[in-house]
Structures are given as C-alpha cells and as structure tokens.
Structure 1
Amino acid sequence: MHGSSEVGHLVDRHPSVTPERLIAQLIPPPTFAEVSFDTYRPDPAEPSQAEAVRACREFCDQAQARRAGKKRLFGKRDVLPGVGVYLDGGFGVGKTHLLASSYYAVSGQKAFATFGELTQLAGVFGFTECIDLLADYVLVCIDEFELDDPGNTTLISRLLSAIVERGVSVAATSNTLPEQLGEGRFAAQDFLREIHTLASIFTTVRIEGPDYRHRGLPPAPEPLSDGEVADRAAAVPDATLDDFDALCTHLATMHPSRYLTLIEGVSQVYITGVHPIDDQNVALRLVSLTDRLYDAGIPVVASGAKLDTIFSEEMLNGGFRKKYLRATSRLLALTAAGQTGRAIT
C-alpha cells in the first residue's frame, strides 16, 4: 500500500445482516473454538473447579435426554422441559471455557450467545418468532448474563421460560465483579431473583479461584499522533482508518448485530481523535464494537486520549459498570496487540 488514501474506512462500510447470518453467528468466539472439558485445567487448590466440570458434563447428558423426550404409546414422544445450569464466579476462573465446552459436548441444534446478542436476536426477529426459532434446539448457552438492565433481563427471562417449556436446556455464566466475590452468593441470588420464573430449573454451580489471567491491566499505551496512526494504517494490508467521532456516528446508523459483519476481513483498526464519552448510548455502542473486535482478535491503534479514559467516572459508577470495565480491559488488550502488531491469542 502507498499512502493513506488507499486505506479503507469502517465508516464507508454498510453491512446488512440476513436473519440466517445472525443465526450462523451464534457460535463460541474464535478464542474458544478448540476448547473441551478435557482441555480445562482445574486448579487442584480449588476443588470447586473440578466439581464444575463434573456438573457441566452431567448437565449436557440431561440436556440430550430432555430433548429426546419421553416415549409414549404408538411411538410418539412427550416433550420434557429443559434443564438449566448457572456458572457463577469471578473473572478468569474458566466459566466461558466450560460454557463453550458444554456447547461442543452436545449434538444437535444449539446456540452460543452473549446476553447482548440474545437481546439483539429478540429485537431483530421479534419475541414470538425468536421462541419459534429456538424451540427445537437442544441447548442455548448465554455468556455473561447481565443483571444490570431490568428491561432486557425480564425479556430474556420470559424468552427462556418459553423455550425451556419446549424442551430446550439453558446454560449461563455470570459477570460477577471481583469485589463482589466476598459477598458469597450475591450474583447467584440476584440472578435467581431476576429470573424467578425460571429459578426452579437452574442449578447454580459456584466456581472459586483467582483470575488465571490476573497480571493487572497493562497501562494504556501513550497515544500516537494522528499522523503516526495514519502512516501506520497505510502500511498494513486490510487495515481501516477512522476518526473516532465519525466512527461513533456511523455505529449509530446500524443495529449492533451488524458490527461483526462491519469488521469482517479487517486486519487492524486505526482510530484518530479518541476522547472521553459522556453519552451512554454512544458508550454502549462502543462496548458492542469492542466485544466484536476482541472476539475476532483484531488489534487497535489509536491517537487522542488514552483508551482507559474513554468512559467517565460517572459511567463507571453507574448501572453499566461491568460492561465498561470489561470493554476497557479488552481495549487495553487490543491496543497492546496493536503495539506489537500481533493478533490476540
């Protein structure tokens, strides 16, 4: 590539996502494409981890049996309601590893989605259509069930109740903050209260242990100048270069379910003019984009404000605290990859 004029821009992309494509995206992210129960390494000092593996294996067996139903006379089968398992614990104890392993251990139709993706699915298809869509599945896995959005939690609770009645089993993980772990079953109690219509089907599995990734967040790199970012972008095939405000405006023109298609085929993302955000809607769209970039392992290089200052203190102390902390952590990992030029592993 010669000169930044040839660099592509995310703001010039206008992806459309067919319903079929949305369904096809409901699989574990690339980071967890190769995992299984056998590749999970329980910490011998934390017996709850080995117990969690056993509980998940048992859950998978039950999910298959429930979907098969109960034989009646004349060869017909009665539908048995699905079962549920809820993996509760802090960051880095392997909850998503076990959730993805459960997904792979079960044969038949199944879906793996973040809580946000599931609410998007209901938004795109409509509530009733979404139930019909998932009704014949063996298993639906929900990573990071969020308790900080009452409207969406109620929506998903009703959706899950309906599909469980039709024989679908559900596995979910929590997104408990580390400082809440001292409060015992805080997240589990919150979860069961929020989904009271479903509480009876869920077995709560508590996973203890320190964060295996816990090396402290790397400090945010010193931002480059706009010119340096543009020059670097010009030297990288399939990179994109965008102004931060223009990108945020562009994200508002499409449903977050399209963000995965927006970054398809992109090798690295270069952004100029980053600054703190004070609009919650803009911030939440940026969180969604960050999650997609992280799942795809696409490094980020930026100029302007440091990436750990994007979300204000007020936002970090508000109802979406967990999302913003996760997004900050992921942005720092992506910019660290951008500095070395290596993809996320």
Structure 2
Amino acid sequence: MTEALADRRPVPSLDRLVADLVPPPRFADARLETYVPDPAHPSQAQAKERIGAFAAQLGRPRSGGGLLARLRGKDTAAPAHGLYLDGGYGVGKTHLLASLFHVAPGRPVYGTFVEYTNLVGAMGYQNAVELFSSASVLCIDEFELDDVGDTLLITRLIRELSDAGVAVVATSNTLPEALGEGRFAAQDFLREIQSMAERFDVLRIDGEDYRHRGGDVRTPPLAEETVREHAAATDGATLDGFEDLLAHLKEVHPSRYGAMIDDIRCVHLTGLRTITDHHDGLRFVVLVDRLYDREVPVLASGTDVAEIYTGELLASGYRKKYYRSLSRLASLARDGAALAGV
C-alpha cells in the first residue's frame, strides 16, 4: 500500500534543523559559472558580477570604528555591509544566493526567512545569535515583509549579527504587477529594516520567470486513475487526498515539513481544490516550497494548479507567497505530468 504524507509526523532534532541551513538539493550545485544571464536583461549579468565581487571581499578585515573609538581604546570595526537581491519570480536570485554560499570563506549559513524564524523560535533568540555570530555570511532567501512580528525579529537578528561582523545577503520578490515600478520590493525591505537601510546595497534583477516564460501557470489536472496508478507503481511515492493533507498540515509545525518529505521521490494528490482559507493556504505554501527545494514532482487530479488560490488570497497581504507558490507548484506539476507520460 502506498504511503501517505498524512501518516508522517516527524520530530526533527535541533541539530537536524541547524544541519539543514545549507542550500537545498535543487541548488546544491549552483555556482556563478552555471548562472547564465539573459542577454535581454543586462541587470542579470551585473548582479552576477557584483555577487562575485562581494564574495571575494568576505573575510577581509573591516575598517575600524573611527577616531573616537580609537581614542577610547576600543578596536571596534564598522558593521558588516550586506546585499539585497530584488526582482521578480524565477530570475535567478536563489541561484545567485546559493552560489555565494558555495564560494564564501569560513562558515556561511543559508536558509529561508521562514526557516530562520522557526529556528529562532525553537532554540531561543540569544542562542540563535550565538550560533550565527561566527558565520562569515548569513544568506536569507525569500525575505518576507508580510508578518510584522517575524520581520522585526529577523531585523533585530540582522542588526546584532551585522554589528558582530557577519555579512547578510537577502532576496525577496517584486510582485508581477509591480515589475515596471522600479524598486518596489526593495523600498519595502529598506523601510522595514529602517536603521540598517544604509548597510545594504540593492541589486535589481530584471527578467522573466524561467519556469514559465510569459507568466502562464496553467497546468491541466491529471485523471484520478492516472494519479493512483502511478503512485502504486512508483517506489518512494506518497498518495494523499487533498483534504486529508490539508488537515494533516494543521497538526505538523511548518518547520518540520522538510523532514516530513525525507526520502520522498514523488507526491500524488487527488481531489485538488481551490483553497479559500489563509491558514490552509500559507501552510500549503510552505509545503510547496520544501517540495520545490527538493525537486519532488507532484501529480495531481482535481482543479488546475492555476486555480489553487482564490483571487482574494492572491490580492491579500500574503500575495507574494501565493504567487511564488503558484509558479513553483506549476513547475512541479509539469514535472509530474511528464513522469506520467502526459
């Protein structure tokens, strides 16, 4: 009988959560040399060059804290400088961030905004500061600006680590409808980090979503019989009814979703429907992110992936998460359809 994700209740240790602070399997081999800029968007080549230059200066001594500090007998270095990669979905920001991690000297640390907030919650703020204070660079993918509490928490963490000499590089997304409005997401980011805004250089990366040129995320659902038959014939597969999965996600903390899909080669879902509730939607977003990170294909019957979130959710304050999820889920569903020969 095919296993169900709804039967999995992982309890990862704190050591496991810390060990996971590296680029996910999808970007394990990401390097600057393998990032191919789109000639139609020069900002991509410029960002690649800037990331390389930034990596080269990591670990170098920073200038002291000025004359006043020296007169007081304090050998205080200036706060570490950081980068913010701003752009739409699928333009290569995560590839560049992972590439930086792989060439950074010392002890780089990599995680998504959600992973950092979950870890700080699990181990305590001061323990997190001590853990990360020896890092050469803190890479934060998918910086979220829609949760005030979490944003303030990570902002405080960035400030303390920057003061301790840890460089910070973050990515976030510009909404599709804001792509022509300049540094839309960057302005939000700099406003939220307030007193540290001068410590970040913004790199704007333009371009189209490489997963869906033209923005099309429509992915026709598979027949339920096809989904079930493929699940039964595939080693390492799971099979869940969509309602059962949503109910299960309520019982598992999002920080454990990565462990929940350990050793899973392919996810099968029946009865996919439009999600109307934010709580269900945001939990499903986290699951899609973890599946995408690990390159786990999804075969689904029911509604079209493009209709997974209501217009109300897509227009809400969490819309960046939902749009990113649409792009990633469509990519995984197309991978799944290819496996099924559709």
TM-score by length of 2: 0.90
Structure-2 change in CA distance of 1:32 and 1:66 (3 Å): farther
2: CA distance, partners of 1:241 / 1:158: 41
**1:3 matched residue in structure 2:** none
Unaligned 5+ runs, structure 1: 1-5
2: CA distance, partners of 1:237 / 1:21: 25
> 2:30 matched to 1:35?
yes
Once the two structures are superposed, the pairs formed by residues 11-160 of structure 1 within 5 Å of their partners are 11-66=6-61, 81-160=79-158
Structure-2 change in CA distance of 1:58 and 1:129 (3 Å): same
- C-alpha displacement at 1:84, in angstroms? 0.4
2: CA distance, partners of 1:66 / 1:176: 34
Once the two structures are superposed, the pairs formed by residues 320-331 of structure 1 within 5 Å of their partners are 320-331=318-329
- C-alpha displacement at 1:66, in angstroms? 4.6
2: CA distance, partners of 1:213 / 1:282: 25
2: CA distance, partners of 1:336 / 1:94: 20
**2:4 matched residue in structure 1:** 9
One-letter amino acid of the structure 1 residue matched with residue 322 of structure 2: Y
1: CA distance, partners of 2:331 / 2:206: 24
Determine if contact 1:85/1:205 at 8 Å carries over to the other structure: yes
Per-residue CA shift, 1:199-231, capped at 9, x if unaligned? 121111222334444424252223423x44323
Per-residue CA shift, 1:154-184, capped at 9, x if unaligned? 1111111111111111001121123212111
Structure-2 change in CA distance of 1:17 and 1:211 (3 Å): same
Determine if contact 1:266/1:298 at 8 Å carries over to the other structure: yes
Determine if contact 2:231/2:268 at 8 Å carries over to the other structure: yes
1: CA distance, partners of 2:5 / 2:309: 22
Alignment identity in percent?
A: 48
One-letter amino acid of the structure 1 residue matched with residue 292 of structure 2: Y
Q: How many residues of Structure 1 are paired with residues of Structure 2 in the alignment?
A: 333
**2:279 matched residue in structure 1:** 281
2: CA distance, partners of 1:283 / 1:192: 27
Structure-2 change in CA distance of 1:336 and 1:63 (3 Å): same
Structure-2 change in CA distance of 1:214 and 1:311 (3 Å): closer
2: CA distance, partners of 1:218 / 1:93: 16
One-letter amino acid of the structure 2 residue matched with residue 89 of structure 1: G
- Which range moved further: 52-61 or 16-25? 52-61
**1:313 matched residue in structure 2:** 311
3-state SS of 1:119 partner: helix
One-letter amino acid of the structure 1 residue matched with residue 103 of structure 2: A
- Which range moved further: 126-135 or 50-59? 50-59
Please, which of 221, 230, 233 is the counterpart of residue 232 of structure 1? Answer: 230
2: CA distance, partners of 1:109 / 1:67: 17
2: CA distance, partners of 1:91 / 1:254: 28
One-letter amino acid of the structure 1 residue matched with residue 32 of structure 2: F
Structure-2 change in CA distance of 1:7 and 1:209 (3 Å): closer
**1:222 matched residue in structure 2:** 221
One-letter amino acid of the structure 2 residue matched with residue 98 of structure 1: L
Please, which of 166, 169, 172 is the counterpart of residue 168 of structure 1? Answer: 166
2: CA distance, partners of 1:67 / 1:258: 38
1: CA distance, partners of 2:239 / 2:288: 16
- C-alpha displacement at 1:44, in angstroms? 4.0
One-letter amino acid of the structure 2 residue matched with residue 241 of structure 1: L
Structure-2 change in CA distance of 1:210 and 1:341 (3 Å): closer
Unaligned 5+ runs, structure 2: none
3-state SS of 1:303 partner: strand
2: CA distance, partners of 1:192 / 1:40: 27
1: CA distance, partners of 2:331 / 2:210: 15
3-state SS of 2:141 partner: strand
**1:252 matched residue in structure 2:** 250
Determine if contact 1:277/1:312 at 8 Å carries over to the other structure: yes
One-letter amino acid of the structure 2 residue matched with residue 197 of structure 1: S
2: CA distance, partners of 1:266 / 1:68: 48
3-state SS of 1:145 partner: coil
2: CA distance, partners of 1:237 / 1:69: 58
**2:186 matched residue in structure 1:** 188
3-state SS of 1:285 partner: helix
One-letter amino acid of the structure 1 residue matched with residue 267 of structure 2: V
1: CA distance, partners of 2:125 / 2:99: 28
- C-alpha displacement at 1:27, in angstroms? 1.1
- Which range moved further: 153-162 or 200-209? 200-209
- C-alpha displacement at 1:191, in angstroms? 0.9
Structure-2 change in CA distance of 1:292 and 1:257 (3 Å): same
1: CA distance, partners of 2:41 / 2:229: 49
Structure-2 change in CA distance of 1:182 and 1:268 (3 Å): same
